[in-house]
Structure 1
Amino acid sequence: MNKFYIADPHFGHEAVIRMCGRPFATIDEMDNAIMRNWNQTVGNEDEVYIVGDFMLRSRHTPEYYLRQLSGRKHLILGNHEKWTKRLELTAYFESVSQIKEITDLDRHLVLCHYPMAEWPRYYKGSLHVFGHIHNNRDCDAFRYYGNNPNMLNAGVDINHFTPVGLQQLIANNEAFRLGGELDERLH
């Protein structure tokens, strides 16, 4: 069993393509690419931590996406999770929370959709996995996050539109912090 992290897929949200400069012509192209990447990466017994903003303004139901995506899903609530009120969450998620603490590769992780300046650090080297800022280098959070290697942005916009394991998450964030161009491969 592997663990994967993803934030801000914004399934069904057409405006996010323009707002974040995503390399897709249509919402269907974006949704299909993210779902394809997800299912090529995640096995049925793998754990997937969705660190907020799963979908927004979609013409499809949450079930449309959730039934197609492999893995044992954990939802960390973001600011666009109003859809959760009309769904039996236990049918699709192993857990649903505002904040979650886990261990991965012998590292302590604190998952929250919003970037936090401070988080519980029970263990040396504790990491904070978040979303919310997409690929925005101009926001206040990036000014702080950009200098803190223990903060990891799980947003799809910097993680090749796919769930990633912890080592890849660390590598992608290091590259993003250094200001390199984003690798927008669609696998």
Structure 2
Amino acid sequence: MDAHLIEQWNATVGPDDTVYCIGDFCYMPGDTAIALAQMNGKKILICGNHDPMFKLMQGTQQQKEDAHGLALQCGFDDLHWQHTMRIEGIGQVKLSHFPYLPPKDAPEDQQRYLELRPKPTGENLLLHGHVHSYWQCQQDAGKPLMINVGIDVWGLRPVSEVALVSLFQKAGQP
């Protein structure tokens, strides 16, 4: 399976591309390093609950620095808990492994890690993972659009910026 995922990645990502990995990349640091060494592009990890540095990222400043060092040792180019950026055709975008807080009537399995969920802060879009194949695109009342960029809903490939802009615009966003 790893070989297929790496093949899909390299068919999508060029050597000079930058990819934001939205968490749950790999449980084991050694396995992560082996996989990343075979994958094209600059790879920036947005930490998820199944990444080896997850618990460290919730700790002291020293633990967060240790997590960053572990991410670099594994082959990532950078590590963030959340990140914001501008994408032409969308505007301000927030990246987080976790989606926004779910509605109160959401299934129980979507109610985990509530304290780690991002809060809307003026962005037009949230790119996230965590929910596997529950949805590709969702918007809850009063919140920006969320696009799940997990490979589960994208044919086991990273999602291009062009595809994200297209989906954002098809969803009727400004």
Report if the CA contact (8 A) 1:62-1:83 is conserved: no
> Which of 81, 90, 101 is the matching residue for 1:98?
81
Give the whole-Å Cα distance in 2 for the aligned partners of 1:83 and 1:67: 18
Q: What is the Cα deviation at residue 90 of structure 1?
A: 2.7
2:122 match: secondary structure: coil
Paired letter, 2:32: P
1:61 match: secondary structure: helix
Paired letter, 2:87: D
Paired letter, 1:121: G
Matches within 5 A, 1:100-179: 100-106=83-89, 107-117=91-101, 118-121=119-122, 126-136=124-134, 145-147=138-140, 150-169=145-164
Q: What is the Cα deviation at residue 39 of structure 1?
A: 0.6
Paired letter, 1:73: K
Higher relative contact order (CA 8 A, sep 6+): 1
How many residue pairs match? The answer is 138
1:93 match: secondary structure: coil
Post-superposition Cα deviations, 1:116-152, rounded to whole Å, max 9, x if no partner, equal 1442215xxx110000001025xxxx9x935577211
Give the whole-Å Cα distance in 1 for the aligned partners of 2:148 and 2:130: 8
Q: Give the 4+ runs in structure 1 shifted more than 3 A.
A: 83-88, 146-149, 169-175
Paired letter, 1:130: H
Report if the CA contact (8 A) 2:125-2:145 is conserved: yes
1:80 aligns with 2:81: no
Q: Percent identity?
A: 28
1:89 aligns with 2:86: no
Alignment gaps of 5+ in structure 1: 1-29, 178-187
Report if the CA contact (8 A) 2:26-2:52 is conserved: no
Paired letter, 2:138: Y
Q: What is the Cα deviation at residue 170 of structure 1?
A: 5.4
Q: What is the Cα deviation at residue 165 of structure 1?
A: 1.2
Paired letter, 1:82: P
Q: Calculate the TM-score normalised by the size of structure 1.
A: 0.62
Post-superposition Cα deviations, 1:61-104, rounded to whole Å, max 9, x if no partner, equal 22111101110111000001126759642352232011000112
Give the match for residue 33 of structure 2: 63
CA RMSD, aligned part only?
A: 3.2
